[in-house]
Amino acid sequence: MAARGDLPVWVDLALIPLLNLLFALVISGLVVLIIGENPLEAMWIMLKGAVGSLKGWGYLLYYATNFVFTGLAVAVAFHAGLFNIGGEGQAYMAGAGAAAVGLSLEFLPWPIVIPLSILASMAVGAFWAWVPGVLQVKRGSHIVITTIMFNYIALSLMAYLINYGFRPVGKMAVESREITGAYIMSFREVAREFFDLRLPSTPLNFSVFLAIAAAFAVWYLLWRTKLGYEIRAVGASPEAAVYAGIRPDRIIVITMAISGALAGLMAVNEILGAQHRLVLGFVQGAGFVGIAVALMGRSHPLGIMLSAMLFGLLYQGGTELSFAKPDINRDMIVVIQGLVILFMGALEYAFRPWLTALFFRPED
């Protein structure tokens, strides 16, 4: 008799996620069919739109950069047994940090300002997650509830800050003025300035390397440092952690701060890299997509990078699809996303008994 978890590692890490994805796509296809379009054609348009051109790839990687940050944020918390679903608000608040430093220190050279504004994003994001962590430890308020509530507080607070703080007097649009000095260059700009190459116009910028570095840093933190060991111990068995002299309360607070800092990095890609100004609602659901990305990536940085790219593909392909087929709008992508989350999260084990039966034929 094979118990749960006895499946080969590759089945757990690759086959099950792929099967889940496949089912999500099949059901999405059915929805497309109901709308009255050809699902295979729709799929082809999506795929071509995302990976059929340099422009498509540029957008795909730009979206993926956001999702890596928010996915890592969810994953780190998850390793400590915490479910941080406040990435949305943490990233949004972090935008204020990035913009504040970027705008106010413009007189300094960019090699100083950019690291400072990255740190500011992380600090503000960390703070926005640290508070729910402290509330859980001191008051017993559950992190799932408080982080959600903090998303709403961030929404209102940022609307206020942007409107009354960042918006230049007399400007109609609710956004800050442009960051002209210290922004992160896009690939297109670098190619044009330094290599005299023409790249299609995409928001892809050097933050993508920051995302790769963050993924590596998270891996290193979790599996190669004492703090990471403690984080995982608290998540896996709080009782054993206490026995080992680890204080779970302390770990919860620290982990939430790290998680928030990672979510905050999303603002770097968006504000310093793509928009060059603080705009209303720039996070656009990336914080929530991070949950799906982390689930699908099994909370491992490598898996997160892969699933972030997959979601980047869905986003970019979906945009193209909505141009080509007006019947299928962007909400369709949200449906597919929802289905992926449903299959990855809620139905994670739906195929397991079936696979177990397949791999372990009953003896004799």
Partner 1 sequence: MTPAIELIGIDKRFGAVHANKDITLEIAQGSIHGIIGENGAGKSTLMSILFGFYSADKGEIKIKGRPVKIKSSSDAISFGIGMVHQHFMLVDPFTVLENVVLGAEGGRLIGPALAKAREELTRLARDYELEVDPDAIVGELPVGLQQRVEILKALFKGAETLILDEPTGVLTPDEADHLFRILGQLRDQGKTVILITHKLREIMAITDHVSVMRRGEMVATKETKKTSVEELAELMVGRRVLLRVKKGKAKPGQVVLDVKNLTWKDRKGVARVDNVSFTVRSGEIVGIAGVSGNGQSELLELISGISKPSSGQIIFEGKDIGILGDPRHVREEGLAHVPEDRQHRGLIASFDASESGILGWQYDESLGRGFRLDRQAVVARSKKDMLEFDVRPADPLLRSGKFSGGNQQKIILAREIGRDPDLLIVGQPTRGVDIGAIEFIHRRIIALRDEGKAILLVSVELDEIRSLSDRILVMFAGRIMGERGPEANERELGLLMAGVSKDAA
Residues in touch with partner 1 (CB under 8 A): 223-230, 232-233, 236-237, 239-240, 242-246
Return the amino acid letter for 151.
N
Dihedral-angle region of residue 285 (phi above 0 means left; psi in -120 to 50 means alpha; beta otherwise): left
CB of 344 vs partner 1, minimal distance in Å: 20
Residues 165 and 85 sit within 8 Å (Cβ to Cβ): no
Cβ proximity to partner 1, 160 vs 223, nearer residue: 223
Q: How far apart, in Å, do the first and last CA atoms of the chain sit?
A: 12
Residues 85 and 259 sit within 8 Å (Cβ to Cβ): no
CB of 341 vs partner 1, minimal distance in Å: 24
CB of 228 vs partner 1, minimal distance in Å: 7
Q: How far is CA 335 from the centre of its chain?
A: 18
Cβ proximity to partner 1, 139 vs 224, nearer residue: 224
CB of 242 vs partner 1, minimal distance in Å: 6
Cβ proximity to partner 1, 245 vs 326, nearer residue: 245
Cβ proximity to partner 1, 239 vs 364, nearer residue: 239
Query: Tokens 């310093």 — which residue?
Result: 272
Cβ proximity to partner 1, 5 vs 170, nearer residue: 5
CB of 298 vs partner 1, minimal distance in Å: 13
Helices 248-267, 207-224: crossing angle, 10 deg rounding: 170
Residues 189 and 204 sit within 8 Å (Cβ to Cβ): no
Count Cβ neighbours within 10 Å for each residue of 197-231 and write b for 16 or more, e otherwise. Answer: eebeebbbbbbbebbeebbeebbebbeeeeebbbb
CB of 239 vs partner 1, minimal distance in Å: 5
